[in-house]
Amino acid sequence: MNLAAFTQRLIALMLLALLAACAGAPPGPASRSSVTVEDGRRSAVVLSAMALLDSPYRYGGREPSTGFDCSGLVHYVFSQERSSSPIPRSSAEQAGASRRISRKQLRPGDLVFFNTLGRPNSHVGIYIGNKQFINAPSSGGRVRIDSMDNPYFAKRFETARTFFE
């Protein structure tokens, strides 16, 4: 395992531990910091995406057994979250069906869109927090964690959007 893969796995494990700790908090009086149903749904989306790290890229792919393209990954992950309504298959349609939010409003489970093919919203990833997102990057690649600060993605960032309230 190379250093980049090791680092991605370490980040994923740390995030999983953090999410598990949040999910296991004892119930208490309702307050602004209480864990909500929406937080649980967001965690389920992130955990589902994390489970697919290192899956192969495949153009048009939308299954773990055969691989994913970027929008196929998003479609599959959100279809695993049973309480989610079905979402469109293509990245452009996913952008059109979701609600625009500012980059500052990004929360785990939201979507980040990029212009990688000379057209808006041609690439999509699932935001996991700390300026990181999971995506199926390109032919020959694998599902991985990338940084919003990566010069390639920073230059091509298009919009942040959400399917959550």
Catalytic residue among 2, 22, 121, 123: 123
Give yes or no for a contact between 72 and 164, defined as CB atoms under 8 angstroms apart. Answer: no
- Is residue 123 annotated as part of the catalytic site, yes or no? yes
Question: Strands 111-114 and 157-162: what pairing?
Answer: antiparallel
Residue 22 appears among annotated catalytic residues = no
**Is 2 a catalytic site residue?**
no
Give the Cα separation of 78 and 81 in Å (integer): 5
Catalytic residue among 70, 75, 121, 150: 70
Phi–psi pair at 133, nearest 5 degrees: -145, 155
Cβ-based neighbour number of residue 83 at 10 Å: 8
Q: Encoding tokens for residue 103?
A: 């980059």
For the annotated catalytic residues, the residue numbers are 70, 123, 135
